[in-house]
Structure 1
Amino acid sequence: MPYHLQFGEADPLRIRFALSPLWETHSAVRVLARPRQQGYHLPWLRRIRGAAEGLELGPLHLLMPRRGHSPDFLYPPPRGPAASFDEEIAAVRETDPALAHDDFARALAETPGATASDEGQRMLADPAGAVQRLADLLQAAWEALIAPDWPRLRALLEADVAHHSRRLAEGGLERLLGEIHPGFGWGADSATLTVAYQGEHVRALDGQGLVLMPSVFTWPDVISGFDPPWQPTIAYPARGIGGLWTEATADRTPDALARLLGRARADVLCALDEPAGTTALAHRLGLAPSSVSAHLSVLTEAGLLTSRRYGHQVLYERTPIGIALTGSPVSHPRPE
């Protein structure tokens, strides 16, 4: 059964993209317990297995029913375009215990036996204490599972936002919503966005607009259903997840291009299948950030790359000439 998000006159003017390290942490914890979601992430899972085994994630998993409500306060929609994890977890710790109790009760009721379990009863009896324990678990999960790879994850998420922002400028809102995910359906007559997902949920945006949030660990689902007071939000799988955990190597760089540009500079050019920043490229290629920065400058001056600022960093992507040199296929807009 789908979600139905009903747009009013002002809502298209209040659509924004956002990134959330807290959402990625929560979603990564969910992936650990969901074999269906592990596909693309198997290299990551193998690498973090030891760290994950050292975490007590049972209380978090208890609040992650396979269908139905999960506590929104544990991963609220980010208020800005790119909040830090510390800012987001601080907001979780300030949750009203009464709101937390209601969220706990709804989520526990979705899983048979969860409400009567020792941990479930403990949460309901002391919601304020449970909020702090759960925040501690999310903090530990962030540090062990996500923080070491956050530069890479953030680069992929920012590249997705850059791509879809450009598509919004080129084709408008209706085309953007049709391209983000095959589970999206736009009803022009009713101004309603339908999101294919488990459960039935209808929400009028009422001038609040909509947050579109690319996610690495949400794959293959799209997730919505946030209730007031949270801003309406949709988390969707970011582009490029298939190559996320694949290390870039010199094997993909044509020898002729390496002779023309130099091996390291050619590797930088070939690694830019998606827009990326200096830190992410350095991490991906195993090079010093200063070296990557110098190569990016030369490639940009030569007309092989273009750059744009997004948030705190500069993203680079290949120009048509750069694409031609790497032998990559050129993507064209969908025909009308």
Structure 2
Amino acid sequence: MLSCTGYAARSASDPLAPFSFERRDTGPDDVRIEILYCGVCHSDIHQARNEWGNTLYPCVPGHEIVGRVSEVGTNVSRFRQGDVVGVGCMVDSCRECKSCRDGYEQYCEQGFVGTYNGEDRQGRGITLGGYSKSVVVDQAFVLKVPDGLDLAAVAPLLCAGITTYSPLRHWKVGPGQRVGIVGLGGLGHMGVKFARAFGAEVVLFTTSRGKIEDGLRLGAHEVVLSTDKEAMARETGRFDFILDAVSAQHDINSYLALLKRDGTLVQVGAPEDPLPVSVFSLLMKRRNFAGSLIGGIPETQEMLDFCGAHGITADVEMIAMDEIETAYARMLRSDVKYRFVIDMNTLAASA
């Protein structure tokens, strides 16, 4: 076993604090990674505070990991010591069901194993995430990071990036389409970047007048204030596709009304309570309301390669490990542009 340090929540009410634990030895199919950067996802807050009711303590969050390979197992051929790699939201799945065989491990029929707060399929306990010095991951769930990108800004691609890339690719967003992105946060800002890179006409919907300039800077052709009823009415029936990245309660029917016949709205934000949907919003123009969850390993590698080829990364704010509780508080106030990333070199000073 390997000694490791990190930050953990020990209960739903405790702040994250230094934590010492052990990682497994590097097995034949494993890659050991010294973590350089770890993005901070809103789901980290949900899990640390047991807001989904399934947290196992102690909980070490973090599933947007970029690091350097320090050791590989005897069966590993795709990676070698010194490589820069990434780990996203999953570290294992059954690998046998149709979803896994098709490269959609996120839809594993037995449930994928989360990078943290997941039950290891080999009986090695509960997975502990990227707010830590190192991690050991099966090679099948390790990703190659392209050269030439800001590594800190790559980290959020492993969750926020793939969560928006996957539905845009699946529904074949591209030139000639008018695409709406709802919300300009960690997810939404990546949705704007990808939709623009795919060649679509991109319209950002936001409740904040202060985000108009940023939306245009990030790639939107137009920004619409969703609180402006007249502006929203002008957009009725004009969209081929809408990606909704809002995790708070909002009127989903006001966005469904913006779709053309056979248009699709995909929800990637995850509000705590159900969103009421008027069936007539769907019936009248054969509209589609769908959801999407992160992406499989092949598609995540495709996304990273696309980002490398097009110079796409997240807009990030770097923090030290001991600033995590302050970062959580700011995230809850939507006070971040647009993703916090922990410089894991600061862990030694805070642990």
Normalised TM-score (structure 1): 0.28
Which has more helix, going by share of residues?
A: 1
Report which of the two structures shows the higher radius of gyration computed on alpha carbons. Answer: 1
